[in-house]
Copies of this chain bind each other. A is one copy, B any other.
Amino acid sequence: MKTLIKNVLIIPMTERDLSLQGDIGIDGTRIAFVGSADKSFVPDTVLDGTGMIAMPSLVNAHTHLSMELMRNYKDTCANLQDWLGEIFPIEDKLTASDIRIVSDLGIAELIKGGTTTFADMYFFAHETGKAVVESGVRACLGLTLFGDVEDSRRRVQERGPLMEAVAAQSNGRIRVDIAPHAIYTCSTATYRYAHDYAKANKTAMHTHLSETDKEVQDSISRFNRTPGDYLASIGCFDDIRTYLAHCVHSTDAELSRFTAYDIGIVHNPTSNCKLASGIAPIAKIRQAGIPLALGTDGASSNNNLNLIEEMHIASLLCTVSTGNTMALTPYDTVRMATAGGAEVLGLDDRIGTLEAGKDADLILVDTKKSHMTPLNNPFSALVFSAQASDVDTVFCQGRLLMQNRRLTTIEETEAMRKTELCWKDILTRA
């Protein structure tokens, strides 16, 4: 199957081109060319890209997809700890079946907002994996750990094979990562176990870090170290890829130390504001040269999975908190949500930019809207003017997942209906 996207404004997010007007060819799962068509390329399908921006699909590098269920629920808790106190009892009631239902809804929302890759950390991840396989998106699914190492071992033994089985059906679109939740919910032995698992299985570790000042103060009390220094001191970052969600309160010394490891940071500005956690020092993170990605966190602390909106909020917060309008340019912001996300997840050999040979994970954003006119700078338009609903067309690994705002692999109305019923049922469970 060969698809030609004609006459489109391309922002490839490569170092070579800022933007170019031209065509894009998709051959099977891959990008065949970007810019000018090869004469030998005979498409089966032609899409008119006039008035559209073609760009890499967005990468949501930290979320808890199934927390869609708790969207707009318990929204005025004082802080992260209080909020988790409300959420954890609900989570205890969730079943594998719930997760399968809500995963369809979450993926529908992701695709409609232009995201085709997400890094998830939640329960019953193999059920989310089934939804990933069927819907055609891409995910790094966290094998999520809590508590002490016996519990972690049990989780790995029970869940690991289920997750690997679903990953095997994904044509390489699912990677199973190890995901110890946080230093305040996992023991030192669990983190060491997670590290060893990642090293042995050649995969990545995904964890929350330094989300709140309380976490940092408690870490200093318990371990005599800030959270990043604590994990470094137990060898947790050695010889593996790690991606750290939040780092709102990471110190300059920690950021400097992180550069010695294969560490990336995922910025979740909306969630950090909403839970009064703070504003992550992303200008410093960028200055330190640490790869930086963007995430929404779960929909229950956001309250959506909208990376277009997340770019806007990230940009505004960086500018106002540094007083420097150039600390994160519109280009930098788009990069954080595309190529930066791919880098942080270690998927940059396959996605994150538009280049011949890479997997065809790309979106078309419709600029023929009153709020996008005149367009002027396409990067500014994407960061400051666009809405998720401007995403018109979505491809992942060459497969068309949305065209003209209509999903091709998920029954959106059905996913909404089932999720509503499921949530009503959960609220009645003892």
Closest to A405 in B: B389
A154 within 8 A of B: no
A220 within 8 A of B: no
Restricting to A285-308, which residues have a CB under 8 Å from any CB of B? 299, 302-306
A112-140 Cβ-contact flags toward B at 8 Å (1 or 0) = 11000000000000000000000000000
A322–B78 Cα gap in the complex (Å)?
A: 11
Q: Is the CB of A72 within 8 A of B385?
A: yes
A412-428 Cβ-contact flags toward B at 8 Å (1 or 0) = 11011001100100000
Restricting to A353-381, which residues have a CB under 8 Å from any CB of B? 368-377, 380-381
27 contacts between A and B (CB under 8 A): A72-B380, A72-B384, A72-B385, A73-B374, A75-B330, A75-B380, A76-B326, A105-B373, A108-B370, A269-B316, A270-B316, A273-B320, A274-B316, A276-B322, A303-B385, A304-B384, A306-B371, A309-B309, A313-B313, A317-B320, A370-B415, A370-B416, A371-B388, A373-B420, A374-B423, A387-B389, A389-B389
Complex partner residue of A113 from B108, B371, B373, CB under 8 angstroms: B371
A337 within 8 A of B: no
Starting from the known contacts A68-B373, A273-B320, A303-B384, 12 additional A-B residue pairs (CB-CB under 8 Å) come to: A69-B374, A71-B373, A71-B381, A72-B375, A78-B325, A79-B325, A108-B370, A272-B320, A274-B325, A312-B313, A317-B320, A374-B420
**A71-B279 contact given A78-B326, A316-B313, A325-B274, CB 8 Å threshold:** no
A329 within 8 A of B: yes
Q: Is the CB of A325 within 8 A of B72?
A: no
| A419 contacts across to B, CB distance below 8 A | 373-374
| A372 contacts across to B, CB distance below 8 A | 71
A275 within 8 A of B: yes
Q: Is the CB of A274 within 8 A of B319?
A: yes
| A78 contacts across to B, CB distance below 8 A | 324-326
A278 within 8 A of B: yes
Interface hub of A76, A276, A388 (most chain B Cβ within 10 A): A276
A262 within 8 A of B: no
Q: Is the CB of A305 within 8 A of B377?
A: no
Q: Is the CB of B73 within 8 A of A303?
A: no
A109 within 8 A of B: yes
A77 within 8 A of B: yes
| A316 contacts across to B, CB distance below 8 A | 269-270, 273-274, 313
| A89 contacts across to B, CB distance below 8 A | none
A85 within 8 A of B: no
